[in-house]
C-alpha cells in the first residue's frame, strides 16, 4: 500500500489560478502597449486623452501642492536642529532639494496619485463594466481598449511627472518657509544654493521613475476595472485593489530604479 502523501487538489487549483492570473496580466499589458503604439492611427481618441489629462492633472493639483509644501516644511524643521549642532544650517537648501528631487517628491506624489487617480480609474472603469458600457462600445464598433485603457494610461504617464515637478517646487517653497521661521534667508540665495547642488543625474532617474509610476497607476487601475465582477460591490473592490496593488508596485519600481541608478553612478565614476 502506497503511504506517500498525496498533493492536495487545492494546491493545484490555486497554482493554476495564479498562473492564469499572471497570463491575464501579461496579456493586458501587451495589449496596452500595442494600443499605445498605435494610438496615432485613426480612429483618434485625442479628445478623450485631453479630457483624462485635465482630470488627472487639474483635480490633483491642490492636493499635491499642499502635500509637497507641508513635506518640505516638516523636513526642514526636523532637519535644522541636527545640522545646527554642527553649524551646517547653510546646507539646508541643498539637502532638501536633493532629497525632494531624488526621492521624496516622486514617491509621495505617486502614492497620492495612486490613492486619488488609481482608485478613480478603477471605480470608473469598473462601473462601466458593471453597466455593460464596455460591451456596448464593442457592439458599436468602438475599440474600448483604445478609448478607455490607452487614453488613461498615456494621461497618467504624462501628468504624473508634471505633478512631481510641481510637488518639488511646492516642497522647496515649504523649505524656504521653514528656514525663515527660525532664521532669515533671501529667496534668491535659497534657490541659488538649492539649484547649485543639483545635477542632471538627480533629475533623470526621478523623471524615469515618475513616468513608470504613472504607467503603473494607469495600468493597474484599468486592469482592476476591466476585470471587475458583475455586482455593484465589485466596483468598490476594484477601486480598493487598484490603490493597494499600485502602491506596492510603486515601491518595487522605486527600489529597482534606485539600484540601477547607483550601479550607473558607480560605473561612470
Using N-to-C axis directions, what is the helix angle for 92-99 and 151-182, rounded to 10°?
160
The top-scoring range by mean pLDDT among 20-24, 87-91, 122-126 is: 122-126
Q: Is residue 2 part of a domain?
A: no
Cell numbers for 59? 483635480
The pLDDT confidence band at residue 9, using thresholds 50, 70 and 90, is: low
Q: Give the SS3 label for residue 198.
A: coil
Task: Look at the pTM and tell me if it is higher than 0.85.
Answer: yes
243-252 pLDDT tens trace: 999 999 999 9
Q: Is residue 33 part of a domain?
A: no
Q: Is residue 5 part of a domain?
A: no
What's the pLDDT score for residue 170? 94
Q: Is residue 80 part of a domain?
A: yes
Distance CA 110, CA 74 (A): 19
What's the pLDDT score for residue 158? 93
The pLDDT confidence band at residue 1, using thresholds 50, 70 and 90, is: very low
Q: Is residue 11 part of a domain?
A: no
Look up the domain containing 107 and give its range: 46-268
206-220 pLDDT tens trace: 999 999 999 999 999
Which H, E and C letters describe 10-37, residue by residue?
HHHHHHHHHHHHHHHHHHHHHHHHHHHH
Closest CA to 69 of 167, 191, 215, 195: 167
Q: Is residue 35 part of a domain?
A: no
120-152 pLDDT tens trace: 898 888 888 888 888 888 788 778 888 888 999
Q: Is residue 34 part of a domain?
A: no
Cell numbers for 93? 537648501
Closest CA to 174 of 58, 68, 89, 29: 68
168 against 263, higher pLDDT? 168
Q: Tally the domains of the chain.
A: 1
Q: Is residue 253 part of a domain?
A: yes
161-190 pLDDT tens trace: 999 999 999 999 999 998 888 877 888 888
Mean confidence (pLDDT) of the chain: 85
Whether the predicted pLDDT of 93 surpasses 90:
no
Whether the predicted pLDDT of 7 surpasses 60:
no
What's the pLDDT score for residue 3? 52
The H or E element spanning position 96 is: helix 92-99
Residue 43: is the preceding peptide bond cis (ω within 30°)? yes
Closest CA to 110 of 59, 167, 71, 72: 167
Looking up cell 478623450 gives 48
The pLDDT confidence band at residue 2, using thresholds 50, 70 and 90, is: very low
Amino acid at each position: 500500500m502506497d503511504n506517500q502523501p498525496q498533493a492536495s487538489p487545492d494546491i493545484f487549483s490555486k497554482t493554476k489560478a495564479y498562473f492564469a492570473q499572471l497570463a491575464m496580466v501579461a496579456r493586458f499589458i501587451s495589449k496596452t502597449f500595442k494600443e499605445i503604439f498605435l494610438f496615432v492611427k485613426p480612429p483618434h481618441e485625442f479628445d478623450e486623452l485631453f479630457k483624462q489629462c485635465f482630470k488627472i492633472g487639474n483635480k490633483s493639483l491642490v492636493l499635491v501642492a499642499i502635500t509637497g509644501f507641508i513635506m518640505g516644511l516638516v523636513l526642514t524643521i526636523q532637519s535644522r536642529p541636527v545640522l545646527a549642532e554642527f553649524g551646517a544650517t547653510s546646507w539646508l537648501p541643498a539637502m532638501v532639494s536633493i532629497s525632494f528631487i531624488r526621492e521624496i517628491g516622486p514617491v509621495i506624489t505617486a502614492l497620492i496619485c495612486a490613492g486619488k487617480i488609481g482608485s478613480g480609474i478603477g471605480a470608473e472603469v469598473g462601473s462601466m463594466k458593471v453597466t455593460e458600457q464596455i460591451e456596448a462600445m464593442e457592439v458599436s464598433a468602438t475599440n474600448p481598449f483604445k478609448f478607455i485603457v490607452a487614453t488613461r494610461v498615456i494621461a497618467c504617464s504624462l501628468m504624473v511627472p508634471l505633478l512631481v515637478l510641481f510637488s518639488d517646487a511646492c516642497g522647496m517653497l515649504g523649505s524656504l518657509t521653514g528656514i525663515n521661521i527660525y532664521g532669515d534667508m533671501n529667496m534668491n540665495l535659497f534657490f541659488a544654493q538649492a539649484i547649485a547642488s543639483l545635477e542632471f543625474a538627480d533629475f533623470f532617474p526621478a523623471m524615469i521613475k515618475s513616468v513608470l509610476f504613472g504607467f503603473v497607476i494607469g495600468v493597474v487601475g484599468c486592469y482592476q476595472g476591466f476585470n471587475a465582477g458583475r455586482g455593484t460591490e465589485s466596483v468598490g473592490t476594484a477601486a480598493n485593489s487598484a490603490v493597494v496593488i499600485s502602491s506596492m508596485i510603486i515601491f518595487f519600481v522605486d527600489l529597482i530604479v534606485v539600484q540601477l541608478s547607483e550601479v550607473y553612478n558607480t560605473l561612470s565614476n
